[in-house]
Every structure is written in structure tokens, then in C-alpha cells.
Amino acid sequence: MSTISAVVLREGRWCRWSADHRHRTIAKAPWLAAIVLTGTSAGACAGGVPSTALPVALERFVSDRAAPSIDSIEVWICDVPDVTADPLYGDLPLRLALDPAVVTGQIADRTSDYFSTISHGLYNPSFSAGATIEMSEGDTAETCLDAALDRSSTTTTVVLAVATAEHVAGTSGGWGRPGSWFDCSTDCAARTTRRAAYVGASDFNPDWGAVPLLDLIEHEIGHTLGLPHSGIDPDDGSYLSGLDLMSNSAAPRHHDQARRDAPDTLAINRLDLGWLPVADIEVISGDTDTDTDFALSPSTGVDGRRLAIIELDAHRVISIEFLAATGFDDHFEHSGVAVHLIDDRPGDRELRLQQPLGAGPPHLDLLQAGDELEVEGWRIRVNDVGATARVAVTAADR
Ligand SMILES: [Zn+2]
């Protein structure tokens, strides 16, 4: 048995958890080894841990790498030839004359502001212009991205590549990956970790006006931080939730065509990224036999109790949070309570599943005062929605 320390960010200072937890390493995904802490959660940081032991699944979240405070994102262009073997572009004729410096100027300030805002200053990406990869007929988006990574600066931590061609219907608009960033120590350059994001040309079509669509780039940057999707359609794998950056990132634009940014993100992702301290979580353990009644502050806010967790088993929890119809979430018709089933067993396509419960897609019909939801043997009742939300949780068989 060796020792490991997990750290959580608590109000701007780093709290180090007790270093004598037993732990084991599992492969959450091929590129990620997660440290699983077991045993008690009594921490060494006064005020930095909740009074109730964290469910094992949550300990796993807080023990892997938090988002960095800064990121250096280098913007490259993949110039797709008129004839290309990559089926992603098919025989679509449009080619945009994209310049790395111009694209960087179009996205830098606003995308940086988006992340600084949703993280309350904890994550601040900056952007710089790379160059253009002139693709040959046999090149693909992947080979272009690889070439950009190889040529990126040693101080660059993420490469973002934008293609000059659109993608054929039915294909993904882009992708993002953390590469080996979770395991890097001294050398976290993108050229080493292969941490990268890629998008097609659609969001830069001049028809959108001076400001391109930014929600997909924001979504892919979320993947470079290790975030999984939420709100997946079990039938076709599409992303249907309008509640989360990591689902249908275009949801705000369905409400208002002028919108360019993605929604904010879920409390469980904020916990994963180190943007929400464990001390601000209400934990309801699986063997609780009394009613639990608590107030939740908006999960996208800066402080207060912002997440409630019901422990189901070693891998599954139910998350309860109060989402306010403000800021990047002002496309919601009203504020209310969102409930998700979180399952961190790695699947074929996802690091963990995060499925909204209750209302159907796009899941914007949040629970209101008087609403009740019975899931996984638990009854969740919303008693009040105002500046905070008052929620009661009871085992459903009582
Ligand atoms: Zn995605």
C-alpha cells in the first residue's frame, strides 16, 4: 500500500486530504488512470470536507486532476483540398478562406470570457495563432490535427484545429480529447500529451455574421478537460439536454438566434473540474432512513450548498441541483431543480453517463415548488423555489 493525496480547491486555497487512504488504480479509460480512494473521508483540512463521508464515486471525481487555472490554446487551420479522401468532408464544395490569426481574433476574448465566467475565475484559457496545414488529397482531419500538434509551441497546452470544409450531414461537428494530460507532470505541452480539439468549418460560415458560433468550440474544450457528455439519446447517441455545455451546446441559440455561447455546466462537472468544493455538497448516504431537508443555492453561483448527492452504490449517484435561469442559462423558461443519474462505470463511448431524470428532452422543464420525482427508490420533493430551492429527500418505501 502506498499513499496518495487528493487536493480540492476550497475558496481559493488548496486543501490537502489525508494521505493515508487506501487506494487502488483503475483504468477509467485508456488514457486515464484514476485513483480510487477508499476508507474514511475524514480530511486533514478543517472546514474543507463535508461531515458525511463522500460516496466512493465522488471521491473518485475529486481525486483526479482538476482543471488547470490557465491554458494556452493554439489555433491552427486545416486547409482541406477540393478533392479529399476523408469521408468526413465527402464532396461538399464549400471551402472557407480561414486565417489562423483572424480566427484567433474572432474566438479568443469571448471564449476566454465564457470559461472565466462559468468557473468564477478558476479556469482562464488564452488563445494564440498557430499556422495553416495544407492538407493533401489523402490527408484526414486526424492527420492534420497530428501535424498541428507536432508543430505546436512547447508552451502550448491545447491545440485547436479548424477545418476550411464543412462536415457531411450526420457526422460529428468536431471532437476534443485530454490525451495523456491527466498523467503529465513536468511536460504538459500539447505536442507531448496530444491534448487537442477539432471543429469543421460550419461555425465560421460568414452567414453567421462577425461572431462565429462558439458553443461547439467551448464544448470541445470541455472534452480536453476530461468532461463526458450528458443527456445522451440511448437510441442514436445524440445529445439532447439543453442544461449542459456537454450536451446540446446549441440549446441557447434555439431560444435566440443571436446567442453564440453554450449553456453553463452541471454541478457534477464543476465538482470534477475543481470548481465546486466538497464542503458545498449535501451528501445523503444510501442507508439514510430519515427525511433530509435542505436548501440549495444556484449550482452555477459562486458559493453556498450547490449540489446534493444521493449515494446509490459504488458507481452510481443521483445529483440534485438548483439551476437558475440567468447568465449562460437564461434560455431556461424558469429556474428550477434538475436531477441527474450519474454512473461512472466507463462504457463503450462515454467516460461516465450523466442522464437527466424527470422531464423528457430537452429537459428544460425543471422541477418547481410542489413537484415530486420518484427515482431509484428515492422520493425527491421540491418545497420552494426562490433565491434558493428547498428540497426534501426520502426513501420511497417509507
Ligand atoms: Zn462532445
Ligand 1 midpoint to CA 177 (Å): 9
Ligand 1 midpoint to CA 383 (Å): 35
Ligand 1 midpoint to CA 223 (Å): 7
Ligand 1 midpoint to CA 378 (Å): 30
**180 contacts 193 by C-beta, under 8 angstroms:** yes
Ligand 1 midpoint to CA 390 (Å): 33
Nearest C-alpha neighbor of 160 from the set 73, 245, 87, 82: 73
What CATH fold (topology level) applies to the domain 70-224?
A: Collagenase (Catalytic Domain) (3.40.390)
Ligand 1 midpoint to CA 345 (Å): 18
In sequence order, what are the residues at sequence separation of 6 or more whose Cβ sits closer than 8 angstroms to the Cβ of residue 311? 55, 57, 283, 284, 285, 286, 317
pLDDT of residue 51: 43
Ligand 1 midpoint to CA 240 (Å): 12
Instruction: For residue 60, give the 3-state DSSP assignment.
Output: helix
Ligand 1 midpoint to CA 375 (Å): 27
Mean pLDDT by 10 residues, the chain (398 residues): 28 25 26 28 35 75 90 98 97 97 98 98 98 98 98 98 96 94 95 98 94 98 96 88 97 95 98 95 82 95 97 94 98 97 76 90 96 96 97 88
Task: Please report, for residues 80, 129, 155, 184, 221, the alpha-carbon distance to residue 191 in angstroms, rounded to integers and kept in the order given.
Answer: 22, 15, 9, 12, 16
Task: Please report, for residues 18, 43, 176, 315, the alpha-carbon distance to residue 46 in angstroms, rounded to integers and kept in the order given.
Answer: 11, 7, 37, 27
Ligand 1 midpoint to CA 238 (Å): 10
Ligand 1 midpoint to CA 103 (Å): 21
HSE-up (13 A, CA, CB side) for residue 180 = 11
**336 contacts 367 by C-beta, under 8 angstroms:** yes
DSSP H or E run through 283: strand 281-284
Q: What's the Rg (C-alpha) of the chain?
A: 21
**245 contacts 268 by C-beta, under 8 angstroms:** no
Report domain extents, the chain.
7-66+267-395, 70-224
For residue 23, what are the β-bridge partners? 37
pLDDT of residue 127: 98
DSSP H or E run through 372: strand 372-375
Ligand 1 midpoint to CA 221 (Å): 9
**166 contacts 202 by C-beta, under 8 angstroms:** yes
Task: Please report, for residues 9, 71, 277, 368, the alpha-carbon distance to residue 1 in angstroms, rounded to integers and kept in the order given.
Answer: 26, 34, 27, 48
Nearest C-alpha neighbor of 260 from the set 175, 200, 328, 169: 328
pLDDT of residue 346: 67
The three grid cell numbers given for residue 94, joined into one nine-digit string: 464549400
